[in-house]
Structure 1
């Protein structure tokens, strides 16, 4: 197996180049978790892994609580299955909160403020209420808790990571927050070690071939914790060594042949790149720095041809249409342009609006 082959396997196992899924919750459950820092981009991440996926169906799944958006891993937003929310928060977020202690101190946030914030937000949301970020900030400000700069965002993140709140349905174009215990019925939590081991198997099935270091980075676990989970499921995995690195995937996964002239328009923060700490199977390190911009936390949407990232794209939404602005690393030939146009048609169907390539 080569690095190029690894990239092709990932496209297949992530259900980008092949899928049997018809429901958003099937995609999210298979993937384990999908980064959702860019909300609209994350909807497309789910939709492109579905047969005939559309944006409305993915948003409806969020409103119907069959998928949930919250802060369960790496201190950033993810889409996860309802059954996974609480055990993930318990397993992954204490380390995130501990690492943020310096930031909290810098922002003047302490246990007393978090406790008061929790009391104020609980009172405002009880009874099934859903409030936008601004409305939650107004509640905190009226309670004499400042939300300026990034204080409000850190408070919201803390309250989500400690299991008080999660995202509800959108109000217009604005996301809302609601009480987790009212949004999702309480469930019996699995044993933590067993849950993490099961999660590891899902990771290597959906993201494989991947390294142990990839899994540790993706979850935020220590390498020792990742090794323990890996050891528990090792008998269900197969391994390949490429350039001195050991890659693992589920033994039930087929080894697939590359699809010729395959083209995909992936959103920023898609798991195809964000699911790994080492992305060189799909993109050169210098090119990755290029799509990651200037370190502002933004990862550009990418054009993938034959498993390799070959450029970037950006969408602009007008009243009755969308435009895709392509920025290739080099130039696209006639065949590639035709294939990109076909990929744009799938995105157009997802949005339910015409898409024009610029």
Structure 2
């Protein structure tokens, strides 16, 4: 591989059209490339965003050949077979991962985040005059033992077995963001990042954000650098070409770690409109555009819409104010032939409504394709009502219309 600071001699140019073709095929968005099971979707995308529980199901449903299977099959994978696992991962974000990838994510990303989270918890407790690390370790052992006995439990249920989980302390006393923290909330979060517990079944339906907890399967010990190389190789296969900035943003790693992993997997330099980018070894050959035009309705925080830091090649900058919230979270998006062209929402009566903002997609063909996708979504989503966790300007307008 050439150096990471410039464009290697003879590096192949991959234009916007080919990048969109790769996205369409590898992210299972073209009808002919749709998946037969949620595990195939997660594997194709590397990880499904799990911060909003509904995103997981909506993202799977958009990519299944038979969307009616979305809820039962995704619940089977998450809670029955446990072939999919919800856990903290890249950028300290909750993801749903293929079970075989959890150890890689834990070693490549989770361990460093976990160390910071535990140190932060102990620092906050000390500043508030709360009990020390030995006390916390004792509560942790007791809580994990209780969770193992129960199989799955909410924080409130665990607190009945270990009452010290209910103890509280004042965080940032005297400051504008002062608040009260409960031991159970912070400790379970730390244990989740450390890979000791995972989220189990929700208390309500598949749209609920209140989860039970379960003891996590033990992760095999992996070398951090080797795990980072494996994660980056999988991500480049799914999302390449990607720039160094894309890779650093998606993983949350330091730039030195990104460059080390690029060398380890012998990533290949290519050029894109913004400069040097990388693809997986053996993935330099051209990819033809899909033979059929396609549309998609993807949920808020979908991993395709959020997959790259540099997004101009599939998302026009002028559309962003309507499609993102103030924290940079994308809402539900309408896609046409590899570009984000608008937004969609669900009205209180269950109707799927949308608006195309990009004038290039205001054609009869595009309208018919988007309408078909809306019907497809409605066929399995109704009568469930879904409100995105992060509301965006156009989604709120459409939903209230």
Once the two structures are overlaid, the 10-residue window that deviates more, 244-253 or 46-55, is 244-253
Q: 1:175 to 1:354 in 2, by over 3 A?
A: closer
Matched, 1:16 2:29: yes
In the TM superposition, what whole-angstrom CA distance separates every residue of 1:318-337 from its partner, at most 9, and x where no partner exists? 6xxx3223244367454433
Q: Which deviates further from its counterpart, 41-50 or 135-144?
A: 135-144
Find the aligned partners of 2:145 and 2:303 in 1 and give their Cα distance: 36
Match of 2:51 among 37, 56, 60: 37
Look up the match of 1:55.
71
8 Å Cα contact 2:21/2:289 also seen in 1: yes
CA contact (8 A) 2:41 2:60 kept: yes
The reply on whether 1:306 has 2:337 as its aligned counterpart is yes
Alpha-carbon distance, 1:28 to partner? 1.7
TM-score (norm 1): 0.83
What CA deviation, in whole Å up to 9, does each residue of 1:56-113 have, x standing for no partner? 2111110120110011221111011222223422331233245555587457587456
Equivalent residues of 1:140, 1:146 under 8 A apart: no
CA distance 1:135–1:259, change in 2 (3 Å): farther
SS in 2 for 1:123: helix
Conservation of the 8 A alpha-carbon contact between 1:19 and 1:50: no
Give the structure 1 partner of residue 212 of structure 2: 176
Question: Is the CA contact 2:39–2:98 (under 8 Å) kept in the aligned structure 1?
Answer: yes
Question: Which of the two has higher C-alpha Rg?
Answer: 2
Aligned residue pairs, count:
349
Consecutive unaligned residues of structure 2, counting only runs of 5 or more, are 1-13, 170-178, 386-398
Is 1:164 aligned to 2:196, yes or no?
Answer: yes
Q: Which residue of 2 aligns with 1:86?
A: 103
- Are 1:61 and 1:67, in contact at CA under 8 Å, matched by a contact in 2? yes
Unaligned segments of structure 1, at least 5 residues: none
Cα 1:340–1:223, aligned 2, differ >3 Å: closer, same or farther? same
Alignment match, 2:226: 194
How much is the aligned-residue C-alpha RMSD, in angstroms? 3.3
Contact (CA 8 Å) 2:139, 2:164: kept in 1 or not? Answer: no
Change (3 A) 1:205 1:327: same
TM-score by length of 2: 0.75
* Residue correspondence of structure 1 range 1-358 to structure 2 within 5 A: 1-17=14-30, 18-19=32-33, 21-53=35-67, 54-63=70-79, 64-100=81-117, 105=123, 111=133, 114-136=136-158, 143-146=165-168, 153-173=185-205, 174-181=210-217, 186=218, 188-234=220-266, 237=268, 239-249=270-280, 251-252=282-283, 255-258=287-290, 261-295=293-327, 298-316=329-347, 322-329=350-357, 332-351=362-381
Corresponding residue number in structure 1 for 2:174:
none
Mapped contact 1:259–1:306 kept (Cα < 8 A) = no
